[in-house]
Amino acid sequence: MLDFFHFWSGLSKFEDLDLLEPGELAHAHFQDLLAGPRELINNDSRLIPGDGIAPLVRIIQKLVEKRYEGTLSVELFREELVRGDPFEVATEIGRKCEAVMLEAGVL
């Protein structure tokens, strides 16, 4: 399992993705990351893909290279998203995720 948020906010570096064996990854949580000091990162730092600083396109392209064919599961905990209108929030997430995936060449 790969969680984009934990991967990019933690001690990992992009080159660590080269350690994945083709077909090894079974699931991915897809979110972006708010800019700021690592010491202040928490669940409110999780953003809709495309709204933050993580190199999402490069990560997706690497996952394709590693033959990941599973879903990208959006996992967000920000209060305005959790309490927002489900249809409006889902529509915004879908639109932004689609833009990132189009840029990555996977749609």
Domain around 29: 2-104
Whole-prediction pTM value?
Answer: 0.93
Amino acid identity at 24: E
Tally the domains of the chain. 1
**14-58 pLDDT tens trace:** 999 999 999 899 999 999 999 999 899 999 999 999 999 999 999
Look up the CATH number of the domain holding residue 77: 3.20.20.150
Q: Which SS3 state, helix, strand or coil, does residue 28 take?
A: strand
Question: CB–CB of 28/1 below 8 Å?
Answer: yes
**b vs e for 46-59, b when ≥16 Cβ sit within 10 Å of the residue's Cβ?**
bbbbbebebebbeb
**75-102 pLDDT tens trace:** 999 999 999 999 999 999 999 999 999 9
Residue 86 to residues 74, 89, 93, 106, Cα–Cα distance (Å): 14, 5, 10, 26
